[in-house]
Amino acid sequence: MRDRSRSCLFLIWIPPRAGQHVSLSKRASSFMAGYLNRYAKALTVPRMLHTLTVWFRTNMGFRCRRPRQACLYELSSGNPAWRHFEKEEVWGRPSRTLVLRTAAVIGNYDYLMDWRFEQDGSIRIALGATGIIETKGVTARRTVSSSHASTWTWMGRTTRS
């Protein structure tokens, strides 16, 4: 299943009209054409990083260059990669992870996608969302039936509390 691979972002949201929901599945490669966000070094990642310029093909097949679309940095977990006590001395090395990060902007959220390369050779993929929650105000009204009044009240056509 190509569309459900580890480089895929799957979103479900409910639009303003009742009874509908929309799902969106995007591969990481399709972010290049219009969703990837340029990095602000001070806001998104640690100070010691390297930003990457990305080359990709547009829908028309033209090559396009975008600077600062991904970043590469080292993350210290504070844990030891290995440690050994021998002859009254402790030897060891700190654990570090190499992180490749991109950020896709879809709607009012920024989706951070991390590919984390661990020292044991494993690759972990992390997805996080950050942004501003959009809320919708509705006018208050009373329901005709009072049978549900103890559990919830209607706030709008698609919302209840």
pLDDT at 131: 79
CB 61, CB 54: distance < 8 Å = no
Domain parsing of the chain, residue ranges: 36-131
pLDDT at 109: 80
Question: Which helix or strand (DSSP H or E) is residue 153 part of?
Answer: none
Q: How far is CA 150 from CA 20, 69, 127, in A?
A: 28, 51, 39
Angle at 82 between CA 78 and CA 84, to 5 degrees: 115
**Sites in the chain below the pLDDT cut of 50:** 1-15, 18-34, 161
Buried b (16+ CB within 10 A) or exposed e, 23-57: eeebebebbbeebbbebeeeebbeeebebbebebe
Q: What is the pLDDT of residues 60-104, one digit of tens each?
A: 888 888 888 888 888 888 888 888 998 889 888 888 899 998 888
pLDDT at 139: 67
